[in-house]
Amino acid sequence: MNAENKKRNVILDCDPGIDDCLALMLALRSPELNVLGITTVCGNVPAALGAKNALKILKRYGRLDIPVYVGEEKPLRREYVSAQDTHGEDGMGDSGLSEVEEVSPLPGAVDFLNRTLKEQQEVSVIALGPLTNVAKALEADPQAWRRLREFVSMGGNFKSFGNCSPVAEYNYWCDPDAAAFVYENLPVRIHMIGLDVTRKIVLRPDILEYICQICPEEGEFIRKITRFYFDFHWEQEEVLGCVINDPLAVAYFIDPSLCRGLDLYTGVAVEGIALGQTVCDEKGFWKKAPNSRVLTQTDTEGFMRLFLSRVAGAEEPQLSRVLRQLYPAACRNSIEGGQQDA
């Protein structure tokens, strides 16, 4: 909550997507947030499919009152390349969950973003997928975006290697023109939750086992949608578990102390071998004012404390006992990662 203890108005722009689903679950379980709507964009899966997946999460939490709007079906310029190899054909680990019949997704994500920014107060946007919707909306009505409160984007990377090219992270690689446009034109600072910090957030088998022990229904659901993702991570990077990028963006929006970073000017490469790479001007070569806060360190244990308490209902003093098991003293209560704060 902010000073007045008010819920913070937020739109989640996403491409569900397994980690997007976990991020939606965290957001819906967090009393600080008033989720005004969900917009889906072409990314992990086509936007229309992502919208159906978002409805499945909303239904599980009895929140079909929250509208879901379908956004852009293809990037601004590039051919659309999904990430269904990572998230499954259905975008939820090929878990075969039944479709939501009670409500349908609505068209017009871009219009919803701009309308809501104009009609509501203090609206923030947490972007968990490619920035195509945001770029289209910003281009269509820049005045609306001058009312934007805060903007957090899961995407990019500072010093970490890419996940879909040696140097590029998927969200910004999928639509580099949109990312470049947003980084050049958004009127507020972009909080960039990139791979440097999200790679520290691993849903490990022991953590999933804890969730299953204390909240079997949630645990089994998470196990169902992440099995595909676990297999992908083992085959691709011999990681036991799965990196859950998007929930960190939501957690950071709720509690900014979970990450530290640098205020830098960031540009996005839109062509060539480095297509989609975020180029963060750490040394000020380009003498441009910072347009982003590039998060470079994160409190992994602090994130997991928030995630487990909200999504699995973990309670003290058990939660602290289990976190001591999960994160031995060596890295507890510490901000992990690279660069110091600015």
Residues of this chain that bind ligand RIB (CB under 6 A): 15, 17, 19-20, 43-44, 83, 128-129, 154, 163, 169-171, 245-246
Minimum CB separation of residue 195 from ligand RIB in Å reads 7
DSSP state of 166: S
C-beta neighbour count of 253 within 10 angstroms: 24
Q: Which does 169 bind (CB under 5 to 8 A by kind): ligand RIB, Ca ion, none?
A: ligand RIB
Tell me how far apart the alpha carbons of residues 309 and 64 are, in angstroms, rounded to a whole number. 23
Identify which of residues 144 and 251 has a Cβ nearer to ligand RIB in the complex: 251
3-state secondary structure of 171: helix
Minimum CB separation of residue 3 from ligand RIB in Å reads 30
Residue 264 exposed, middle or buried by CB count within 10 Å (0-12, 13-18, 19+): buried
Minimum CB separation of residue 173 from Ca ion in Å reads 12
Identify which of residues 243 and 319 has a Cβ nearer to ligand RIB in the complex: 243
Minimum CB separation of residue 315 from Ca ion in Å reads 29
Identify which of residues 79 and 101 has a Cβ nearer to ligand RIB in the complex: 79
Minimum CB separation of residue 194 from ligand RIB in Å reads 9
Tell me how far apart the alpha carbons of residues 271 and 181 are, in angstroms, rounded to a whole number. 14
Q: Which does 170 bind (CB under 5 to 8 A by kind): Ca ion, ligand RIB, none?
A: ligand RIB
State how far Cα 8 lies from the chain centre.
17
Q: Binding residues for Ca ion, per CB under 5 A?
A: 15, 17, 20, 128-129, 246
Tell me the CA distances in angstroms from 276 to 162, 167, 340, one per residue in order.
10, 8, 25
Comparing every residue's Cβ against ligand RIB, the nearest one is: 170
Tell me how far apart the alpha carbons of residues 248 and 192 are, in angstroms, rounded to a whole number. 11
